Amino acid sequence: MSYIGSEPQFSDFPSKFFNGDGTAMTITLDYAPPSLSAILVFIGGVKQDTSAYTLSGTSLTFTGTVPVGTNNIEVIHLGIAMNVGVPGDSSVTAAKIDATGTPSATTFLRGDMSWGTPPGATGGSGEEAFYNNETQIDYDYTIPSGKNSLTAGPVTIASGVTITISSGSAWTVI
């Protein structure tokens, strides 16, 4: 499977210890969990039910008193949302696109994710004096408004196929 950026890696679940102070204390987490079920909370090594605390942003508040102790509270995040980012304009090169064929100055990326040559033909010495088109039109087509289209004929339009010429447009068959 292809990825933009780095391929996902396995990682540890971030964990942090806090000192209990004998009150229904509030601790500040390094990350804001999206829900109570996105963290595990332990006091003295005993997992706490989600009813033992509330969560608001990075503030985790215990509903009952927490025993006094050094590093006796542990909070484990079960995943942290990461900003993968958006590639900058013009920063994705042809080499980073998962497509078949070979990109070059004379190919284009087709809708089926393959590099292909534009329609047409090249002569033996490389001149591009020819354009090839199909001799039968098998699918409905609308010439966009304000555009002209050209087809080399003769050409047959298959039964049931409609060619729509929008206002301000023209279709020439030569």
For position 103, what pLDDT does the model report?
Answer: 80
For position 88, what pLDDT does the model report?
Answer: 85
Place of tokens 């040559």: 117
Domain locations in the chain? 15-77
For position 104, what pLDDT does the model report?
Answer: 79
- What does 73-139 look like in DSSP terms, one character per residue? EEEEES--------PPTT---GGGS--BS---TT-EE-TTSBEEPPSSB--TTS---B----SEE-S
Secondary structure of residue 37 in the 3-state scheme: helix
Residue 122 and residue 26 in contact, taking contact as beta carbons nearer than 8 Å: no
For position 59, what pLDDT does the model report?
Answer: 96
For position 29, what pLDDT does the model report?
Answer: 94
Alpha-carbon torsion, ordered 116, 121, 122, 128, to 10 deg: -100
Q: How far is CA 136 from the centre of its chain?
A: 38
For position 35, what pLDDT does the model report?
Answer: 87
For position 79, what pLDDT does the model report?
Answer: 75
Q: Exposed, middle or buried, 66 (CB in 10 Å: 0-12/13-18/19+)?
A: buried
- pLDDT by 10-residue block (mean), the chain, 174 residues: 66 87 94 90 95 95 95 90 78 80 80 77 64 87 91 92 94 92
